């Protein structure tokens, strides 16, 4: 059984928190990330996993590193990080 390396709800909450701190609407972040507002809503509410390319785009729009969007990811050793996205 594979270990769950992150929690979708925590990640979504972090995205929402950072977006709000930038005074950005869902529509604006979705636009800058190349996704729909509906998709962003699903990510923020923990209903869907955020694909790595989208996570990177969101991080750029929010002016943070991608690891800042996924609580606990910074602590993972490289092999587990690779398995997470492999």
Is the CA virtual torsion 24, 51, 3, 82 positive or negative? negative
Does residue 1 sit within a domain?
no
Give the Å distances, CA to CA, from 6 to 22, 27, 31, 57, 81. 24, 25, 25, 19, 11
How buried is 15 (Cβ within 10 angstroms: 0-12 exposed, 13-18 middle, 19+ buried)? buried
CATH number at residue 72: 1.10.260.40
Does residue 2 sit within a domain?
no
Sorting pLDDT into bands at 50, 70 and 90, what band is 1? very low
Range of the domain at 46: 8-85
Structure confidence by residue, pLDDT tens digits, 31-73: 999 999 999 999 999 999 999 899 999 999 999 998 899 877 6
In the chain, which ranges are continuous DSSP H helix? 8-21, 26-33, 37-44, 52-62, 78-85
Q: Total domain count for the chain?
A: 1
Does residue 36 sit within a domain?
yes
Does residue 3 sit within a domain?
no
Q: Which residues contact 74 (CB under 8 A, 6 or more apart)?
A: 67, 68
């Amino acid at each position: 059984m594979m270990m769950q390396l992150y929690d979708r709800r925590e990640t979504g909450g972090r995205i929402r928190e950072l977006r709000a701190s930038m005074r950005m609407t869902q529509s604006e972040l979705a636009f800058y990330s190349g996704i729909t507002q509906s998709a962003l809503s699903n990510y923020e509410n923990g209903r869907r996993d955020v694909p790595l390319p989208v996570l990177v785009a969101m991080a750029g729009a929010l002016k943070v590193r991608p690891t800042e969007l996924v609580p606990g990811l910074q602590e993972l050793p490289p092999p587990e990080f690779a398995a997470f996205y492999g």
